[in-house]
Amino acid sequence: MKTVDIVIVGGGPAGLAAAVAAKKAGNDSILILERDHELGGILNQCIHNGFGLHTFKEELTGPEYAYRFIKQVYDLGIEYKLNTMVMDISKDKIVTAMNREDGMFQISAKAVILAMGCRERPRGALNIPGYRPAGIFSAGTAQRLVNIEGYMPGREVVILGSGDIGLIMARRMTLEGAKVKVVAELMPYSGGLKRNIVQCLDDYGIPLKLSHTVVDIEGKDHVTAVTIAEVGPDRKPIKGTEERYTCDTLLLSCGLIPENELSRSAGVTMSPVTSGPVVNESLETNIPGVFACGNVLHVHDLVDYVSEEAGRAGQNAVKYINDGCKDESSAETIEITATEGARYTVPSSINPERMDDLLTVRFRVGDIYKNSFVSVYFDDERIMHNQKRIMAPGEMEQIILRKSQIQEHGGLKKITVKIENE
């Protein structure tokens, strides 16, 4: 069986950044396995700008951003296989994959980096009643059809869900000559970035109806109309608030689900909150040597953060190999608990021995918070209390922990992240 130091599953933004970082950290035995016919992942269909402000201090389109990393993969001579689907990852890090040329093959890896990204929640999972005609797409599928294949799904559009891809597609469909009649969002707040609401809806006069959902889809062969209604605090439709929109297309942007079927079958422990692996300070899962980064770990708002996180996963994988592939899973760790408004943290535990001098801990809040405080407690002592003008579920938050700070707190058992009003 072929052996490779680091197998990276997925050649999207996370996989690319992990590969580049691992190579720069000194490892020469890296293989990226990518199921599509080119590297770059979903960025290839994100032809709008706004990528890279943090990483490159300039505004790039998705393909441009991806190419910054793809070029490094080329220049550094990192090995990759396209059109290759990973079929299985075993507990002992044997990766089974398949493509037309090599057939089905197995690689024994010292470290595996999970970078499979996420998928969109489909109509079925939303339990929207009505007919099941053509003309209903997840926003990302429509984005691919328009931006990659060059075809318009329709001319009159209703969008359910205000996730970023839905907002971006509202603008894209408008620019392509379609009429986007309304964006309905189940929650009382948007799931997307504020800047996308302004630049993709407000600028084009597209109404956003918060606390609304689709209650009926009409059309036997093809969508002919969609009815939306207001929902109450229980998120159930309120009778009498129905509004019917004739349309030929319904786009859905109702959440992303980390794509962890491979992780699960490998025995990786999952977080019920993020639907991604539970990881420690090294972005390592419960299986020693299996790391996770990007949207497969938790859904990010900006690709810049994906790249940064994936870079750390790549470096940590190299470190793990250089340290002799030690099983650290039974080492003493400090748990990080998210509570009172903070939904989760990544990572969710820290081994102070292994952590970097500065450790970024990312999380999301569960509601809109204005002028509230992000507080961090070491056991019962509050050690951080930062006021934020606004926090929203659609945007990721972060805190930075110092190794020295933790070391000063000898015997620290538990770190708690919460949102406080004062």
Measured distance CA(252)–CA(184) in Å, rounded = 10
Residue 289 is a binding residue for another protein (CB under 8 A)? no
Measured distance CA(68)–CA(9) in Å, rounded = 19
Residue 90 is a binding residue for another protein (CB under 8 A)? no
Interface residue with another protein, options 25, 76, 82, 98 (CB under 8 A): 98
Interface residue with another protein, options 103, 233, 324, 410 (CB under 8 A): 103
Measured distance CA(41)–CA(249) in Å, rounded = 25
* Footprint of another protein on 184-213 (CB under 8 A): none
Residue 234 is a binding residue for another protein (CB under 8 A)? no
Q: How far is the CB of 129 from another protein (least distance, A)?
A: 5
The string over 342-359, giving b where at least 16 C-beta atoms fall within 10 Å of a residue's C-beta and e elsewhere, is bbbbbbbbbbbebbeeeb
Q: How far is the CB of 174 from another protein (least distance, A)?
A: 12
Q: Helix, strand, or coil here: 124?
A: helix
The window from 49-57, 103-111, 372-380, 413-421 that contacts another protein (CB under 8 A) reads: 103-111
Q: How far is the CB of 119 from another protein (least distance, A)?
A: 5
| Cis status, amide bond into 133, omega within 30 of 0 | no
The window from 101-109, 196-204, 377-385, 387-395 that contacts another protein (CB under 8 A) reads: 101-109
306: left (phi over 0), alpha (psi -120 to 50) or beta: alpha
Interaction mask 7-46, another protein, x per CB under 8 A: ----------------------------x-----------
Q: Which is nearer to another protein, 132 or 385 (CB)?
A: 132
Structural tokens at position 370 = 């204005």
Handedness of CA 200, 167, 49, 56 (dihedral sign): positive
Residue 92 is a binding residue for another protein (CB under 8 A)? no
Type of residue found at 122: P
Q: Helix, strand, or coil here: 256?
A: strand
Instruction: Specify which residues 243 forms β-bridges with.
Output: 228
Interaction mask 256-275, another protein, x per CB under 8 A: -----x--------------
Q: How far is the CB of 329 from another protein (least distance, A)?
A: 25
Residue 85 is a binding residue for another protein (CB under 8 A)? yes
Q: How far is the CB of 258 from another protein (least distance, A)?
A: 12
- Give every CB contact of residue 64 below 8 A, 6+ residues apart in sequence: 51, 52
Interaction mask 148-177, another protein, x per CB under 8 A: xxxxxxxx--------------------xx
Q: Where are the beta strands (DSSP E) in 232-293?
A: 243-246, 249-252, 256-258, 290-292
Residue 215 is a binding residue for another protein (CB under 8 A)? yes
Report the largest interatomic distance among the alpha carbons of the chain, rounded to a whole angstrom.
67
- Give every CB contact of residue 391 below 8 A, 6+ residues apart in sequence: 365, 368, 369, 372, 374, 397, 419
Q: Which is nearer to another protein, 254 or 355 (CB)?
A: 254
Residue 384 is a binding residue for another protein (CB under 8 A)? no
Measured distance CA(384)–CA(392) in Å, rounded = 20
Q: Which is nearer to another protein, 235 or 326 (CB)?
A: 235
Q: How far is the CB of 249 from another protein (least distance, A)?
A: 8
| Residue 388 CB burial class (10 angstroms; 0-12, 13-18, ≥19) | middle
Residue 343 is a binding residue for another protein (CB under 8 A)? no
Residue 96 is a binding residue for another protein (CB under 8 A)? yes
* Footprint of another protein on 113-132 (CB under 8 A): 119-120, 122-125, 127, 129-132
Nearest alpha carbon to residue 290 among 116, 118, 415:
116
Q: Which is nearer to another protein, 210 or 257 (CB)?
A: 257
Q: Which is nearer to another protein, 137 or 363 (CB)?
A: 137
Residue 233 is a binding residue for another protein (CB under 8 A)? no
Q: Helix, strand, or coil here: 406?
A: helix
Number of residues counted as binding another protein (CB under 8 A): 54
Interacting residues toward another protein by CB under 8 A: 35, 83, 85, 87, 96, 98-106, 119-120, 122-125, 127, 129-134, 137-138, 140-141, 144-146, 148-155, 176-177, 215-218, 220-222, 237, 248, 261
